[in-house]
Amino acid sequence: MTGRTIDAGELRRRTQQLLAEHPPATTERTAFLTARFDAGLAWVHYPEGLGGLGAPRSLQAVVDTELEEAGAPDNDPRRIGIGLGMAAPTILGFGTDEQKRRFLRPLWVGEEVWCQLFSEPGAGSDLAALGTRAVRDGDSWVVDGQKVWTSSAHTARWGILIARTDPDLPKHRGITYFICDMTDPGVEVRPLRQLTGEAEFNEVFLTGVRVPDSRRLGEVGDGWKVAQTTLMNERVSIGGMRIPREGGMIGPVAKAWRERPELRTHDLHQRLLSLWVEAEVARLTGERLRQQLVAGQPGPEGSGMKLGFARLNQEISGLEVELLGEEGLLYDDWTMRRPDLVDFTGREAGYRYLRAKGNSIEGGTSEVLLNIVAERVLGLPPEPRTDKDVAWKDLNR
């Protein structure tokens, strides 16, 4: 660093230098992405040496635009979304210097895929009730338990894991946060077949898995606080993605309406207009939320965005099936596939309709998010909680 302020002009200069030294047309994809990270142009607001330059977050668009116009490769963000949207900000906020150096670059480049080992069969909406145990054994922790609804576990190298380390404390206080190597002995990944016929999700069994204490994030017992960073970033990444006008689920419906006039009815027209407006409002609200993130960390507003995302996707996909009639029920691939990512817009209407049902569950159920918005955004009185001060071991489960 030269000590001068990083502004838009400086970022353009650095981006052009990257393109000159590593022409996208002749540079291997991973080599280009690695060079971009090392140049501080991955996350410009991250510290120098960790993919950034300590620049304002709002200036990331300057770099992205220059690289897109030059035909530079991206890091396939949908495939590595859990790493980018959840693991990276958590590691940045709570990781040691060694952990940041070890994990952030391969995470951003896409060399290592991440998954999230949070939910359990008996602890989904009430995540703090989790029962997976981690017991200290010298310089390691021995982990036993079961996780569920784990996206990308079948392709992931690393998992962000929360486990109970002190059952004598109330449920929110006896949790610790770890990084789990998904290739370690004792980690078993089993597919969960969904309504779509695919197995995008998994259940993960942890049996005597040894996790070195060097892969602990944050202090022992502070896992709930660390997990809040992950969860808030997760909801922003799900509900606040940057999309163009008529991007996302509303795009295919509007396209079908324009191109196939024989499908149109007055009732569906009114509903399409209403949902189109709501989708545009949600898109612009997402832009505002991202602008707010420039000044700090994501807050409970992300929960509101995720709520709207889930409801809109379900209503829009339902309208699309009605618009297409019998054709909307067709679904040409009911095989037991293990997809790397969810494709909401590149598949049939029937797939979108079925897959959207999960939007109100994943990333926090809509019921839980309503409570968060009510209490932390609107300032309404919280629901009575009788178990907050009860030791986890004494809870009825």
Contact 279, 316 (CB under 8 A): yes
3-state secondary structure 319-333: HHHHHHHHHHHCCCC
Half-sphere exposure of 173 (CA within 13 A, CB side): 10
Burial class (CB in 10 A: 0-12, 13-18, 19+), 82: buried
Entry field: residues in the chain: 397
Would you say 340 and 200 are in contact if contact means Cβ atoms under 8 Å apart?
no
| Residue from 307, 253, 255 nearest 282 by CA | 307
> How many other CB atoms are found less than 10 A from the CB of residue 119?
20
Provide CB contacts within 8 A for 322, sequence distance 6+.
268, 328
| Antiparallel, parallel or unpaired: β 140-147 and 133-137 | antiparallel
234 is known as an active-site residue: yes
What amino acid is encoded at 347 in this protein? R
Q: Which amino acid belongs to residue 182?
A: M
Q: Which of 120, 198, 234, 348 is catalytic?
A: 234
Q: What are the phi and psi torsion angles at 172 (to 5°)?
A: -80, -15
**217 touches 90 (CB < 8 A):** yes
Question: Torsion angle of alpha carbons 395, 390, 387, 369, nearest 10°?
Answer: -100
**The tokens of 365 are what?**
């159920």
What are 143's two structure tokens? Answer: 């982990």
Where in the sequence numbering do the catalytic residues fall?
A: 234
